[in-house]
């Protein structure tokens, strides 16, 4: 090798090692940056015709696409499971546990206790007043549970709208980056930083919907749903959704009162097992609005129907007719299984027994249809109301099985159903979280290993020093030759 060849080889070594050092430094600096892919420098020996030495053939962004896809799928599953579990926890809290003084079962127990007290002293206005107040509190609690369920559904609807906006904006940004990446690659510039930013954006929507990405040789990415619907393929898909200003118990997706999700104007399923976008947080929100909330509302409506129907019989209160309501009403009229939906929100105490509504307190003792006060010492009606609540009878609502129950057992069953749903959701969420954390840990292990990078930097330093020493030696040789 000639002196000029040796000098050229050493200079190429300095250049390659200098570039490698900057890449390693960037890796270390971005060890905690989300979306950052480890850079790896590839070197090759120069061919004989091009001289001696080394040159950089490329800098790759190293990621495991299979692990990345599995982690994003797990994140989507966690998003759905966690969303469901949170909503079911709220519904269970609305109903309340028996040891909670504001729970449904506690209010029912208080109402029954006040009936027992009034039956022992039916002539006592104070005890009749206590029955009235406890009945009002029971009605209010049932109303509040219904309102809370609808509030949960409405919040889910608003969250859907907000997340759809995030999806549209993020996919548009990813699409814009595709053009920028293509331009950079066509000019021969590095697009790795742009790809990092793009990966971070994709990670940002991975929790919302399950996605698959396919990146071509130009660096541009295409995004598809789990079943192949194009979310970004040449152009960005447009998600459509219309938020509701308010939601009432009777409003559902099936009857057209609530908006579904569309992609480029075409309706897509979100809550079906094989739905195009099932399995992410967005699907969980639709499940809250269209499944979980609807089921919970049906159950509280069933409790309200059972409560009213137990006391609507003329065998309980001889003063009411077949079309007249008893102590509890559907907004003032007789309740019916035909109009069960939303009954819990419409449940009212019969105005005939409430002095604040023009009624008379003694009608609790003498009958809601009584025209004159009867024997103040007669506890028959009060005892009949208490027995009606405590008798086992077939539940009138289709939301529950046809098993015979007391009123308190029905309320207990409602809480048990809510608790069971929440426990299953918690188990699903825990499992999804475990899977996500395991995959995330594996992904991080495949990321920037600072110890390895520092070791690599020491190797680069030694190589750089060796090449610098070669140049220094050649310089001394040339000086000696010049002095000859």
Question: Mind listing the pLDDT tens digit for each residue in 10-66?
Answer: 777 777 777 777 777 776 777 777 767 777 776 777 765 556 777 676 666 667 788
pTM of the model: 0.86
CA angle 120, 122, 123 (to 5 degrees): 125
| Residue 299 to residue 398: CA distance in whole angstroms | 9
Q: Kindly list the distances between the CA atom of residue 193 and the CA atoms of 29, 35, 180, 230, 453, in Å, as whole numbers in the listed order.
A: 13, 10, 11, 25, 19
For residue 275, the model assigns a pLDDT of 63
DSSP, collapsed to helix, strand or coil, labels residue 187 as coil
| Residue 372 to residue 34: CA distance in whole angstroms | 78
What sign does the CA torsion over 441, 443, 444, 446 have?
A: positive
For residue 57, the model assigns a pLDDT of 64
For residue 38, the model assigns a pLDDT of 74
Other Cβ atoms less than 10 A from the Cβ of 27: the count is 24
How much of the chain exceeds pLDDT 70, in percent?
Answer: 93
- DSSP annotation of 236: E
Residues 6+ apart with CB under 8 A from 182: 218, 219, 220
What is the band of 263 on the pLDDT scale with cuts at 50, 70, 90? very high
What is the band of 276 on the pLDDT scale with cuts at 50, 70, 90? low
| Residue 278 to residue 290: CA distance in whole angstroms | 14
| Residue 68 to residue 249: CA distance in whole angstroms | 41
For residue 395, the model assigns a pLDDT of 87
Q: Among 285, 288, 269, 335, which residue's Cα sits nearest to residue 307? A: 335
| Residue 208 to residue 108: CA distance in whole angstroms | 41
Q: Which residue has the tokens 């929507």?
A: 205
Calculate the average pLDDT of the chain: 88
Residues 6+ apart with CB under 8 A from 375: 366
CA angle 338, 344, 348 (to 5 degrees): 100
């Amino acid at each position: 090798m000639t002196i000029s060849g040796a000098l050229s080889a050493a200079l190429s070594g300095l250049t390659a090692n200098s570039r490698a050092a900057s890449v390693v430094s960037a890796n270390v600096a971005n060890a905690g940056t989300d979306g950052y892919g480890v850079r790896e420098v590839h070197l090759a020996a120069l061919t004989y015709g091009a001289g001696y030495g080394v040159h950089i053939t490329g800098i790759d962004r190293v990621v495991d696409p299979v692990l990345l896809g599995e982690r994003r799928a797990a994140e989507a599953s966690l998003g759905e499971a966690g969303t469901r579990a949170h909503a079911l926890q709220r519904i269970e809290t609305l109903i309340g546990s028996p040891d909670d003084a504001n729970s449904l079962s506690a209010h029912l127990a208080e109402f029954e206790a006040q009936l027992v007290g009034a039956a022992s002293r039916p002539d006592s206005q104070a005890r009749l007043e206590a029955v009235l107040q406890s009945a009002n509190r029971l009605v209010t609690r049932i109303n509040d549970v219904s309102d809370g369920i609808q509030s949960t559904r409405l919040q889910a609807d608003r969250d859907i709208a907000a997340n759809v906006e995030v999806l549209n904006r993020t996919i548009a940004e990813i699409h814009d980056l595709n053009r920028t990446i293509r331009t950079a690659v066509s000019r021969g510039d590095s697009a790795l930083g742009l790809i990092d930013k793009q990966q971070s954006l994709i990670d940002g929507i991975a929790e919302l919907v399950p996605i698959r990405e396919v990146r071509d040789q130009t660096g541009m990415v295409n995004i598809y749903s789990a079943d192949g619907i194009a979310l970004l393929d040449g152009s960005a898909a447009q998600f459509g959704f219309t938020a509701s200003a308010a939601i009432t118990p009777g409003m559902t997706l099936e009857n057209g009162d609530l908006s579904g999700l569309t992609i480029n104007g075409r309706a897509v399923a979100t809550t079906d097992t094989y739905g195009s976008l099932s399995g992410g947080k967005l699907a969980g929100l639709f499940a809250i609005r269209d499944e979980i909330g609807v089921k919970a509302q049906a159950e509280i409506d069933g409790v309200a129907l059972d409560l009213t129907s137990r006391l609507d019989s003329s065998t309980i209160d001889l003063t009411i007719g077949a079309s007249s309501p008893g102590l509890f009403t559907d907004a003032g009229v007789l309740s019916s299984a035909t109009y069960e939906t939303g009954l819990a929100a419409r449940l009212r105490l019969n105005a005939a027994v409430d002095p604040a509504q023009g009624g008379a307190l003694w009608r609790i003792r003498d009958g809601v249809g009584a025209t004159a006060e009867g024997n103040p010492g007669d506890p028959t009606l009060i005892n009949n109301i208490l027995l009606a609540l405590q008798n086992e009878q077939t539940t009138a609502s289709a939301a529950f099985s046809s098993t015979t129950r007391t009123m308190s057992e029905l309320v207990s069953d409602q809480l048990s159903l809510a608790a069971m749903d929440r426990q299953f959701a918690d188990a699903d969420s825990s499992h999804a979280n475990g899977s996500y954390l395991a995959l995330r840990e594996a992904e991080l292990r495949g990321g920037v290993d600072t110890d390895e990078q520092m070791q690599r930097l020491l190797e680069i330093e030694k190589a750089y020093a060796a090449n610098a020493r070669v140049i220094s030696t050649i310089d001394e040789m040339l000086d000696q030759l010049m002095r000859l």
